Amino acid sequence: MDRNDERVCEACGLLYDWDPVIADGSHFCCDACARGQECTCPEHAEAHHVRAMGSRSGASILGATQGEL
Ligand SMILES: [Zn+2]
Ligand SMILES: [Zn+2]
């Protein structure tokens, strides 16, 4: 049961929907992850919020009351 338009990076766990970078049979969200480096995707920083709120691509919610650190 795969979702066609959503993948999970095997390195950083980021949910992404663009073409994966494939290395050693694993799928990564970006070149950096494929090389074992730190993820460079802008989405990565917001991934936590996306997961929590169930919505992607929104205005960055700065100043919102989230005691999540
Ligand atoms: Zn990644
Ligand atoms: Zn990435």
Q: Please indicate, yes or no, if residue 47 is contained in any of the structural domains.
A: yes
* Ligand approaching nearest to the C-alpha of 26: 1
The pTM for the full model equals 0.58
Q: Please indicate, yes or no, if residue 44 is contained in any of the structural domains.
A: yes
* Ligand approaching nearest to the C-alpha of 28: 1
The count of domains in the chain is 1
**CB atoms inside a 10 Å sphere around CB 64:** 9
Instruction: Look at residue 20 in the predicted model and tell me its pLDDT.
Output: 95
Q: Which residues surround ligand 2, an ion (CB under 5 A)?
A: 29-30, 33, 39, 41
Domain range enclosing 28: 7-53
Instruction: Look at residue 6 in the predicted model and tell me its pLDDT.
Output: 83
Q: How far is the CA of 27 from the centre of ligand 1 (A)?
A: 9
* C-alpha distance across the termini of the chain, in Å: 33
Q: Please indicate, yes or no, if residue 45 is contained in any of the structural domains.
A: yes
* Ligand approaching nearest to the C-alpha of 36: 1
Contact present, 61 and 68 (Cβ < 8 Å) = no
Instruction: Look at residue 26 in the predicted model and tell me its pLDDT.
Output: 94
Going residue by residue through the chain (69 aa), what tens digit of pLDDT does each one get? 554 678 999 999 999 999 999 999 999 999 999 999 999 998 887 655 555 544 444 445 455 555 655
Q: Please indicate, yes or no, if residue 22 is contained in any of the structural domains.
A: yes
Q: Could you tell me which residues come within 8 angstroms of residue 60 by beta carbon, excluding any fewer than 6 positions away?
A: 46
Q: How far is the CA of 65 from the centre of ligand 1 (A)?
A: 28
